[in-house]
């Protein structure tokens, strides 16, 4: 993992899902954590192991299995690919990695640099918030929950994979030891992950030939929206109970 709690071990290395959902923990939150971990894995360039799981249908099956345990009404995505791994890698790089440069003034060599069509960094979707404010707020959130960014991996705090891994960790913590973390998850959605997911989905929808990644962006958008709706409904119910003096 690139975001991990202090003392937490590495992911198991499975190309499909890295989190086993134990029957001893709260199933809904634990399964949601596994889905977020799966999403973090999928928003990377596919290596041989991941490609085999994608092309063989294993990722699609695993995602559907996990969704059944999340307690959310979200249609499972088709994450199976038919193209060759090289084609899939080229599509990933064209969408998320490769930008372009254009000489705009040959007299002085002025060059206009453009990033990739779909950014994997939250700050690129937050025009009214500075890069520093976004990343500082994320750094504080990670630190508060005892998490750290792997310094060997050169990513800013607002990279999609880091935010997905962090949300997955919060889900596991909610499931295993601290149900009150649900409030922190809703706050993290509101401040970061939910607008980020909407931005990526919109950016992918504006591109052609996105294949797997277009479907993945759509699923990310739908899944985070359903998670937010459920968390907000639970908070509202708890506030109503508290106002009536009801304890659960």
More confident residue, 151 or 202: 202
Q: What is the DSSP string of 150-181?
A: -TTS---TTBHHHHHHHHHHHHHHHHHT-TTH
- The residue with tokens 């999928």 is 42
- The residue with tokens 């249908």 is 57
Residue of 117, 202, 192 whose CA lies nearest to 156: 192
3-class DSSP assignment, residue 83? coil
The confidence score (pLDDT) of residue 151 equals: 76
For the segment 228-248, what is each residue's pLDDT rounded down to a tens digit?
A: 999 999 988 877 866 777 665
| CB-CB contact of 163 with 193 (8 Å) | yes
Mean pLDDT, residues 70-94: 97
Which tokens sit at 212? Answer: 């797997």
For the segment 167-197, what is each residue's pLDDT rounded down to a tens digit?
A: 999 999 999 989 999 999 999 999 999 999 9
| CB-CB contact of 18 with 37 (8 Å) | yes
The confidence score (pLDDT) of residue 244 equals: 74
Residue 142 domain flag: yes
Residues 2 and 44: their CA atoms lie apart, in Å, by 13
Binned at pLDDT 50, 70 and 90, residue 2 comes out as low
Residue 248 domain flag: no
What is the domain count for the chain?
A: 1
Q: What's the 3-state SS for 17-67?
A: CCCCCCCCCCHHHHHHHHHHHHHHHHCCCCCHHHHHHHHCCHHHHHHHHHH
Residue 207 domain flag: yes
The confidence score (pLDDT) of residue 106 equals: 54
Which tokens sit at 92? Answer: 């990933």
Residue 34 domain flag: yes
Residue of 50, 30, 48 whose CA lies nearest to 40: 50
Q: What percent of the chain has pLDDT over 90?
A: 72
Q: Which domain holds residue 17?
A: 3-242
Mean pLDDT, residues 154-176: 94
Residue 247 domain flag: no
pLDDT over 50 at 18, yes or no: no
Tell me the whole-structure pTM to 2 decimals. 0.86
For the segment 28-65, what is each residue's pLDDT rounded down to a tens digit?
A: 999 999 999 999 999 999 999 999 999 999 999 999 99
Which tokens sit at 72? Answer: 């959310």
Residue 10 domain flag: yes
The confidence score (pLDDT) of residue 23 equals: 45
Q: Tell me which H or E stretch contains 104.
A: strand 100-105
Binned at pLDDT 50, 70 and 90, residue 152 comes out as confident
The CATH number assigned to the domain holding 107 equals: 1.10.3480.10
For the segment 87-121, what is each residue's pLDDT rounded down to a tens digit?
A: 999 999 999 998 654 444 456 555 445 789 999 99
The confidence score (pLDDT) of residue 25 equals: 47
Q: What is the DSSP letter of 154?
A: -
Residue 209 domain flag: yes
């Amino acid at each position: 993992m690139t975001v991990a709690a202090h003392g937490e071990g590495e992911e198991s290395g499975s190309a499909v899902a890295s989190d086993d959902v134990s029957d001893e923990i709260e199933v809904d939150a634990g399964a949601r954590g596994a889905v977020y971990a799966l999403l973090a894995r999928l928003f990377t360039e596919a290596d041989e192991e991941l490609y085999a799981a994608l092309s063989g249908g294993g990722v699609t099956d695993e995602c559907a299995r996990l969704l059944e345990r999340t307690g959310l009404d979200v249609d499972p995505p088709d994450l199976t690919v038919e193209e060759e791994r090289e084609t899939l890698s080229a599509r990933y790089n064209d969408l998320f990695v490769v930008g372009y440069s254009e000489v705009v003034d040959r007299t002085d060599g002025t060059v206009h640099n453009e990033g990739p069509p779909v950014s994997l960094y939250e700050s690129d979707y937050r025009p009214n918030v500075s890069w520093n404010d976004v990343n500082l707020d994320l750094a504080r959130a990670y630190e508060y929950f005892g998490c750290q960014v792997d310094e060997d991996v050169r990513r800013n705090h607002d990279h999609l994979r880091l935010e997905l891994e962090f949300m997955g960790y919060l889900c596991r913590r909610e499931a295993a030891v601290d149900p009150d973390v649900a409030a922190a998850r809703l706050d993290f959605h509101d401040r970061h992950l939910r607008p980020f997911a909407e931005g990526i989905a919109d950016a992918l929808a504006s591109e052609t030939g996105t294949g797997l990644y277009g479907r993945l962006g759509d699923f990310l958008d739908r899944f985070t929206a359903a998670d937010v709706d459920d968390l907000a409904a639970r908070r509202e119910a708890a506030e109503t109970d508290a106002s009536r003096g009801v304890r659960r």
